[in-house]
Structures are given as structure tokens and as C-alpha cells.
């Protein structure tokens, strides 16, 4: 199995959607970048648990046909909130897992649920689908100011408050960027 968390480029960075990014797939998201090279980029949205009240229109963990007993055990024993997360719009019926691993380059690596056990130490999280970009697509979006790029903290991936992560990451940057953390969800209502 390829360890996507070891690919160079923007790997290990956190893409944070700018407040005016209007793509519903990525509005107010934080995307942990797993791979970034000349062939494209791959990441997972880390702040959209499927069980959150704001995401109830999406399928619940019980509705996800891809889940089987082994995967349920992994999710049930993951860090709170114990939920499958919406990783992105690509391959929405696939599931991707990440586990904390201090020996890997960025402290996170992918999980092989068939050969690993939930008895191990560390934190893990599972994502339905992923976020993907073709060659130069992400670089173009960054140049067009669609995304902020920040160093990711391992705790960003495993936060117990994923719905607040977008605001928390912006706030910790300080200065003008921190002020954006208070940007209203719908500025037309001001």
C-alpha cells in the first residue's frame, strides 16, 4: 500500500479555504494535503464529520454501504467525534484512513485496515472520498487566491472540534488573516 503521507511538495500542509471560495465542496474547509507533485494533488477535508448537525443532509455512517464490521470497529474507536468524515468529492463511495505515526515524515500515515489492528496506540480518522486535483490545478487555485496554505498541526487532523477548525486555524495565524476567522458565513446578511 502506498503511504500517501510521504509524498513531497505541499504534503503535510493544510489548505484553508478563503472566506470567498464559493465551491460548495470546499467552502470553509480545511484540507490536509497527503500528496502533491507534478501529477497533481490529493488530500482530505478534515473538518466535515458526516454526523455533524450541519452535514445531516449527507449520508450517515449507517447509510454508507462501504462500511463493514472491521471499518465500523475502527471508526467507533477513533478519536471523538467517532464519525466518518467527508474527505472530498472524489470517489465518494471509497474510504480512506489516516493514523498518527511519529515515525512518518509529517506524523501521519495512511491505514491498511486489513493488516493493522485497532489495538495500537495513536489516533486515527476515516474519510469518505477524497479531494483531488490534476496536474497544476491546485497550484493554479492557490495562485488565484482560492486557498491559504499553512503548516498543519497533527492535532488539526484529529481535533475534537472539527466544525470550529476553519476559524481556529485562521485565528492562530494572527494579524489580518486572524481577522478573517470572524468573517460571517453569509456576508450579505450584515
Average pLDDT score, the chain: 83
Q: Which three cell numbers stand for residue 141?
A: 487555485
Rounded mean pLDDT, 28-56: 85
Domain of residue 153: give its range.
Answer: 4-189
Nearest to 141 by CA among 8, 10, 3, 5: 10
Nearest to 10 by CA among 121, 95, 128, 105: 105
Cβ-contact 14, 29 below 8 angstroms: no
Instruction: Give pLDDT tens digits for 73-113.
Output: 777 778 888 888 999 999 988 888 898 888 877 888 888 77
Tell me, what CATH number does 96's domain have?
3.40.1740.10
Those residues whose C-beta lies under 8 Å from the C-beta of residue 129, and which sit 6 or more positions away, are 86, 87, 88, 89, 90, 91, 92, 93, 94, 96
Whole-angstrom distance, CA of residue 127 vs CA of residue 148: 22
pLDDT of residue 142: 92
Give this prediction's pTM: 0.84
Q: Where are the alpha helices (DSSP H) in 69-171?
A: 69-76, 137-143, 154-157, 165-171
Look at the chain and report how many structural domains it folds into.
1
Q: What 3-state DSSP class applies to 163?
A: helix
Instruction: Give pLDDT tens digits for 123-153.
Output: 889 999 999 999 999 999 999 999 999 999 9
Cβ-contact 26, 48 below 8 angstroms: no
Nearest to 157 by CA among 33, 70, 17: 33
Cβ atoms within 10 Å of 113's Cβ, excluding its own: 17
Amino acid at each position: 500500500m502506498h503511504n500517501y503521507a510521504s509524498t513531497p511538495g505541499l504534503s503535510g500542509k493544510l489548505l484553508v479555504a478563503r472566506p470567498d471560495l464559493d465551491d460548495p465542496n470546499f467552502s470553509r474547509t480545511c484540507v490536509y494535503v497527503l500528496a502533491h507533485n507534478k501529477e497533481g494533488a490529493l488530500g482530505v477535508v478534515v473538518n466535515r464529520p458526516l454526523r455533524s448537525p450541519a452535514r445531516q443532509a449527507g449520508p450517515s455512517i449507517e447509510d454508507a454501504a462501504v462500511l463493514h464490521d472491521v471499518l465500523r470497529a475502527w471508526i467507533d474507536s477513533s478519536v471523538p467525534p467517532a464519525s466518518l468524515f467527508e474527505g472530498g468529492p472524489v470517489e465518494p463511495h471509497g474510504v480512506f484512513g489516516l493514523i498518527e505515526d511519529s515515525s512518518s515524515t509529517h506524523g501521519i500515515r495512511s491505514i491498511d485496515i486489513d493488516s493493522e489492528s485497532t489495538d495500537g496506540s495513536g489516533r486515527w480518522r476515516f474519510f469518505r472520498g477524497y479531494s483531488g486535483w490534476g496536474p497544476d490545478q491546485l497550484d493554479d487555485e492557490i495562485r488565484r487566491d482560492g486557498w491559504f496554505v499553512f503548516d498543519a498541526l497533527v492535532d488539526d487532523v484529529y481535533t475534537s472540534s472539527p466544525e470550529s477548525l476553519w476559524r481556529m486555524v485562521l485565528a492562530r495565524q494572527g494579524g489580518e488573516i486572524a481577522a478573517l476567522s470572524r468573517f460571517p458565513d453569509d456576508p450579505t446578511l450584515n
